[in-house]
Amino acid sequence: MPSPPALPAAVSYRSLRGRRVVITGGATGIGAAMAGAFAAQGCNVHVLDIQHEAGGLLADTLPHTAYHACDLRDVAVLRRTVRDIEGIAGGIDVLVNNAASDERHAFDEVEPEQWRDRLAVNLDHQFFATQAVAQGMRARARGSIILFSSTSWIKGRPGMVGYTTAKAAVIGLTKTLARELGSDGVRVNCIVPGAIVTERQLGLWRTPEMEAEFMASQALKLRLQASHVASVALFLASDEAAGCTGAQFVVDAGLT
C-alpha cells in the first residue's frame, strides 16, 4: 500500500487556514498529495474514497484530516456524506472533485453498462458533489469548487474512450457551473493534469517507452509529480484566486 504524502513546506496561504476542504478520491495519488498540501496549510480536510485502508492511514497520518467511506457512484450516499460533513465541520469552503479512473478499455468491447459506469466514475459525481455543496456555499456567499479534467481528451488518446469523453465534458461543466454559481460568490475552476507520475501509473502501464514519449512531447523536460497539481489546487482554493472562475489550469509541462 502507498505511504501517505509528506507535508509540503513551500508557499503559505493565510486565507486557507481553517478552511473546510472536501477531496473526492483523496486516499491515494494526486488526491492524497492534495490532502497533504491542504493539511499543511492548516485546513480541515475531509477525504471521500472507497479505499478504506489507504484512507484510514491518511487520516491517521495527516493533521486535521478525516476519512469518509463513500462510493461516489451512489448519489444518495454522496449527498448524505456531504450533509454529514457539513454537520460535523459547520460547512464546506472548498470542494475538490478529484476522483477518477483512467481504466483502459477497448473501443469494440464497450457495452452500455460499462459506458455508464465510466461516466459515473469520471463525470457524474463532479456535478452531484457540486450540487450538494452549492446551497451552503451560496448561503455564505463564497466558496471554491475545483473540477478535474485531463489532457488525454485533448490528445485523443485511444483505449480509454469513456474516460476521455467524460473528461472533455468536464470542461463544459466547469464553464456552466461558473455561470450558475458566480452571482452567489462561488468560484468554479478546472485543473487539467498531464502525465503525472503516481504509484498507480507506475504499477499498471507506465513503461520506459511511454516515459520517453511524454518527455519528447513536453516542452519542460521534467517528470510531473502529484505535488505540481496540488500546488495549483491550493492557489485556486485560496483568496489569491478570487478573480478566477470558469477557467482551465493545465498542468502538463507543455505536453499539449
Catalytic positions are 163
The answer to whether the Cα torsion of 78, 84, 89, 93 is positive or negative is positive
- What pairs with residue 148 in β-bridges? 191
Q: What type of residue is 133?
A: V
Burial of 70 by CB count in 10 Å (0-12 exposed, 13-18 middle, 19+ buried)? Answer: buried
**CA 177/CA 102 separation, integer angstroms:** 24
Of 149, 172, 142, 139, nearest to 242 by C-alpha is: 142
Kindly state the cell numbers that stand for 84: 454529514
Given a contact cutoff of 8 angstroms between Cβ atoms, the answer to whether 153 and 170 are in contact is no
Chain centre distance of CA 27: 11
**CA 188/CA 201 separation, integer angstroms:** 28
Q: For the chain, how many helices (H) and strands (E)?
A: 10, 9
Length of the chain, please? 256
Given a contact cutoff of 8 angstroms between Cβ atoms, the answer to whether 193 and 30 are in contact is yes
